[in-house]
Amino acid sequence: MKAGNGKMVLEDDQIEDLFVSVKRRYGYDFTGYSEASIKRRLQKFIETSEIQSAGALRNHLLQDETFFRFFLDEITVNVTEMFRDPLFFASLKKNVFPLLNTYPFIKIWDAGCASGEELYSLAIFLDEDGLYGKSRIYATDISQRVLDKAMDGIYPIDLMKEYTGNYIHAGGKRSFSEYYTAMYGNAIFHSSLKKNVMFSAHNLAVDESFNEFNLIVCRNVLIYFKRQLQERVIELFLKSLPVFGFLALGNKETLSFSSFKNHFEEIDRLQKIYRRIN
């Protein structure tokens, strides 16, 4: 359908068809994604790619895997920042790290790590509290391209002013610039921060549990999923957490609507830090 301004507008059933075809061809399942948000990104993708019809988009995606990879990066959201929600990191330091420190070895899953800003924030705080040496962090994302960025750990230098503010606000103990080298307009984070990190592609919508963790950090990922898919992922986390394992969500994400909520207690109600209790 064309809107008055000549732009192609995708109908709901066309989007459904598209996602079913993509799932069959590539195994990526977007049918459980929150509609309003993914529809907006699909619409933007179409406006910038000069594709004329829903059928043309579908054919192009199915025939050209490179184009599909590009599409995947465009319609999944990979925007993140270091120490986003400083009070979350402050709470992690105060309420979770002391308990993690009682273990001889700490396993952490950063699920949906995107380009790694949250991962490095975590590593920095673990290091400052003397926990990094005995930690192993599994950083996963649906997109290999953003995982490559996460492995690089290189971010634009202009963002460091904001990130430094977040870091201080979160209770950072050092000077933030100690963690990176400034070069050619970029901040290159020290490779020691990733020496205990394993990077791997993992798709929460279709893949299974692969280990057990003392802490799972998955912030602002569930928001992209409808309740049914959220439920699948929460069950996946439950299977990946021993009793007393921690789960950290984004600060507007909640387990309140989940049938698994009774397996968890709230450690920090506002910052959405939970602990498995049974």
Partner 1 sequence: MLGKMEAIVVGGSWGGIDAVIKILSALPSDYKPTMIIALHRPKNVVNSLEGILKRYSKIPFSEPQDKEEIRFNHVYLAPSNYHLFIEKERIFSLDVSPPVNYFRPSIDVLFESAAEVYGKLLTGILLTGANKDGGDGMKTIAENGGFTIVQDPSTAASGIMPSAALRLIKPDFLGNIHSIIELISSGKEFIWQ
Q: Are 230 and 256 in contact (CB under 8 A)?
A: no
Shortest spacing between CB 260 and partner 1, in angstroms: 15
How many chain residues interact with partner 1 (CB under 8 A)? 31
Shortest spacing between CB 82 and partner 1, in angstroms: 11
Q: How far apart are CA 124 and CA 231, in angstroms?
A: 31
Q: Between 65-75 and 12-26, two packed helices, what is the crossing angle to 10 degrees?
A: 120
Q: Which residue pairs from 155-160 have beta carbons closer than 8 angstroms and sit at least 24 positions apart in sequence?
A: 155/82, 155/115, 155/117, 155/186, 155/187, 155/189, 156/185, 156/186, 156/187, 157/182, 157/185, 157/186, 157/187, 158/185, 159/81, 159/82, 159/187, 160/187
Q: Does 84 bind partner 1 (CB under 8 A)?
A: yes
| Shorter beta-carbon distance to partner 1: residue 80 or 140 | 80
Q: How far apart are CA 199 and CA 138, in angstroms?
A: 6
Among 14, 115, 186, 230, binds partner 1 (CB under 8 A): 230
Among 42, 72, 126, 222, binds partner 1 (CB under 8 A): 222
Segment near partner 1 (CB under 8 A), from 55-63, 93-101, 137-145, 159-167?
A: 159-167
Among 115, 220, 240, 271, binds partner 1 (CB under 8 A): 220
Shortest spacing between CB 70 and partner 1, in angstroms: 17
Contact set for partner 1, span 88-147 (CB under 8 A): none
| Shorter beta-carbon distance to partner 1: residue 212 or 265 | 265
Q: Does 168 bind partner 1 (CB under 8 A)?
A: no
Among 48, 66, 256, 278, binds partner 1 (CB under 8 A): 256
Among 16, 24, 37, 183, binds partner 1 (CB under 8 A): 37
Q: Does 7 bind partner 1 (CB under 8 A)?
A: no
Q: Does 79 bind partner 1 (CB under 8 A)?
A: yes
| Shorter beta-carbon distance to partner 1: residue 195 or 227 | 227
As given in the structure block, the two tokens for residue 94 are 């105060």
Q: Does 254 bind partner 1 (CB under 8 A)?
A: yes
Segment near partner 1 (CB under 8 A), from 23-31, 36-44, 117-125, 151-159?
A: 36-44
Binding site for partner 1 (CB under 8 A): 4, 34-37, 40-41, 77, 79-80, 84-87, 162, 165-166, 169, 220, 222-224, 226-227, 230, 250, 252-254, 256-257
